[in-house]
Structure 1
């Protein structure tokens, strides 16, 4: 067996020596900025410095917290999510020695580029409303690693996470010893999720791919429903440089005789998906053809929708999320659940409309156009690629009507940051560039260099530390009385958003 290098932080990253300083609150400052200062202390204490990973919300019990840290440390010693050997050989071996837990329940498998997690949450809410016990596996997490494995709509407890890891650890070590490479971080988490779902037990699992489809670790399930959210360019070094190439990889989740719920796609990507469906005798339902959004209106706290499902229309649906993209995610989620319950083109019945309305009204998606503060309004959104950024920019312009918007952007080094910034340029009056605590974070000065090319020098502020970037943005939004409708949008990375949530008191 070849030994994997540990999942070390990038030692070449510029460590901000001030990251571990205690920031003293000043009594004459904005009291909400004191929240940032308090959160900053917590962030630095919990992250262990600028090279730490995303900051989880820690358990209150010190012993449980220590045990969870120990598990996280062991997982972090494996290949991270950005380093992989494209194969399902290792995860299949793990499933074999665990007794194939992923076959103990039916599954809905979700792939695509953007909208996977929000769609998964909507599917989960709908299934739960129809009194099914659900398991949901999504990635990455916003604040706590336990978020990735959810039971009955809530993250698995820290105790449950720890016990699940300890239960499968001997089998993980057995597979490690027999394979050329040890199981990766994501592969072990996937094994934990499938084992936890079987142990619960759940009635149905809602599973989001980590990356791609064919060789993704989640792809040891045979889901009866495969969902494909909009495909665009992301992870091009691993998945391909065109939507068609990426669709080819993602089409691997479509299994024999399954139902494919296909969101609106680029033409070449749709063609690839349809070809795969023909090859495996899958049934395809296409957004805009068999289902879709009939109408949408802006409403207080979200939007009012009429959705057309596979069996008929569902009017008067309130969705407490912003943006046209979330309305389309809702249509996809509804069709997926209809397909799971056996409602298709040949049926004229619908799901109970009142139950559907109740489910959508309870949907939440942390870090997706999430308002975490008022006066000025601070919104968090985890957009991290150009397509996601364009959807977010459109939604912000539509739903908030800011007179002046300040951006706070911290992105990962492997993303199309120019495309991301160009998507936000029309709506940002100024942008504060920063970095999160991940080893994958782009250096703030390097990000600033790209931002200056997009925005011009006079619209770019550089604050390498996230707490100071938030403070600077809030100050800019408040500095002139004529901008009473000013706001702040924090974006660029799930990790940036998760750490901002903690700094702003939402952790």
Structure 2
């Protein structure tokens, strides 16, 4: 950034904003410091201090749980902002107000409101603002401008050093912690937990999903250190019972203030029932106390979570799931066994180069009859050929195809799913599962919706 560079002109279109944001440091490039985001939010007038916050971290389940928390808060007539990442199809999905992503005009306005300040920060700091830091600033400014009563904010990666962590949340939610982003966060869950525990602030309530003993110890130590109140899944709250049902499941949840029975959750899998229990405890912790049972039922019945065991098409059935690490793939495999009877189930897998693809393949092998290895359009995508070689080691060569083009891979899988005899399984209802990466699932979703 030179002194002679002219002040950026306001963006006119969504595409211009997207281009300006993507020209910054990518999300995958990290420099652990809150200096830039703090300088940025100071220039913006500390917008994150103008609303209360529920802050979420954890390895998997953040977006689904954020959406549940937001739906419950909106049922209580609170105006909400929601910040989630990454997006499935469109960048503006990351910033929602009143349950809806910003439209193109509002997204452009949110960018233009902060754009002039980005250059000031770039000029003062050793490194320029990243894409993620900039969009966090946009979100916080948009929430203050709305104004919202409460923001539901999902960390990008980690916790302590995550750009979202300039908020002092009323409620810190820690979903299950497993190993992911090893390069940045550490190679064991307890080390990762130290970073994620950084969102637990003095005087807050820490709502903790069920964790391994070593992770739980780290989180409880942090809570004690800062004087946070703790609510633990399996102790203070949890899932009493769950039964798979058409279109989702029926659950009974033990909240912090009481039990909520016969709640229909239109999402699949035990992990989503657990996310629902966590969401309920988070909202109760927010100071709302015991919630009206009918309000809880009505709110949960409305919950959606695109790209999370989402049936996007029938005949053959095509299911999308954004699992991108072994922990997520295990939850996905359990949910498939629990809620569906697809036979054969043909996987379309496209994963990122930096992910544990072997762990993912091993977790999915028992539930997939066959796998079509593909890739998404980003430079970070593992090549279909390399994924195919790894898949052959796990599935055997006769259960693997390599089709680099995603649209063709989905078509190939659909053909295989419909032609049961081609892979010698008993007659059942064949289906396709597209998984392995949020980007792969987002690209598939855009494609399949376009064909409808």
Does the alignment reach a TM-score above 0.5? Answer: yes
1:484 is displaced (CA, Å) by: 3.8
1:506 is displaced (CA, Å) by: 5.7
Q: Which of 338, 355, 360 is the aligned partner of 1:415?
A: 355
Q: Which residue of 2 aligns with 1:105?
A: 51
1:300 is displaced (CA, Å) by: 0.7
1:285-434 correspondence to structure 2 within 5 Å: 285-343=231-289, 350-434=290-374
Q: Distance in 2 between matches of 1:444 and 1:81?
A: 23
1:397 is displaced (CA, Å) by: 1.2
Q: Which residue of 1 aligns with 2:178?
A: 232
1:289 is displaced (CA, Å) by: 0.2
Q: Which residue of 2 aligns with 1:442?
A: 382
Q: Distance in 1 between matches of 2:98 and 2:132?
A: 22
Q: Distance in 1 between matches of 2:212 and 2:432?
A: 32
Conserved in 2, the CA contact under 8 Å of 1:109 and 1:225?
Answer: yes
- If the length of structure 2 is used for normalisation, what is the TM-score? 0.96
1:209 is aligned to 2:155: yes
Q: Which residue of 2 aligns with 1:469?
A: 409
SS in 2 for 1:120: helix
Work out which structure has the larger RCO, using CA pairs closer than 8 Å and 6 or more positions apart in sequence.
1
Q: Which of 380, 394, 397 is the aligned partner of 1:454?
A: 394
Q: Which residue of 1 aligns with 2:5?
A: none
RMSD over aligned Cα atoms: 1.4
Q: Distance in 1 between matches of 2:12 and 2:42?
A: 31
Q: Distance in 1 between matches of 2:344 and 2:12?
A: 44
Q: Distance in 1 between matches of 2:430 and 2:144?
A: 48
Q: Distance in 1 between matches of 2:69 and 2:113?
A: 29
Q: Distance in 2 between matches of 1:342 and 1:232?
A: 31
Q: Distance in 1 between matches of 2:366 and 2:174?
A: 29
Q: Which runs of 4+ in 1 moved over 6 A?
A: none
Which ranges in structure 2 are unaligned for 5 or more consecutive residues? 3-10
1:495 is displaced (CA, Å) by: 0.7
Q: Which of 221, 236, 256 is the aligned partner of 1:275?
A: 221
Q: Which residue of 1 aligns with 2:442?
A: 498
1:174 is aligned to 2:120: yes
1:177-234 Cα distance to aligned partner (Å, 9 max, x none): 1001100000000000000000000010000000000000000000010000000010
SS in 1 for 2:180: coil
Q: Distance in 1 between matches of 2:162 and 2:336?
A: 33
Q: Distance in 1 between matches of 2:59 and 2:24?
A: 25
Q: Distance in 2 between matches of 1:116 and 1:506?
A: 27
1:67 is displaced (CA, Å) by: 1.0
Which ranges in structure 1 are unaligned for 5 or more consecutive residues? 3-64, 344-349
Q: Which of 54, 70, 80 is the aligned partner of 1:124?
A: 70
1:247-258 correspondence to structure 2 within 5 Å: 247-258=193-204
Number of equivalent positions: 440
Q: Distance in 2 between matches of 1:341 and 1:280?
A: 19
1:134 is displaced (CA, Å) by: 0.2
Q: Which residue of 1 aligns with 2:8?
A: none
1:92 is aligned to 2:38: yes
Q: Which of 185, 192, 212 is the aligned partner of 1:266?
A: 212
1:486 is displaced (CA, Å) by: 1.0
1:439 is displaced (CA, Å) by: 1.3
Conserved in 2, the CA contact under 8 Å of 1:372 and 1:506?
Answer: no
Q: Which residue of 1 aligns with 2:7?
A: none
Pair 306,246 (structure 1): closer, same or farther in 2 beyond 3 Å? same
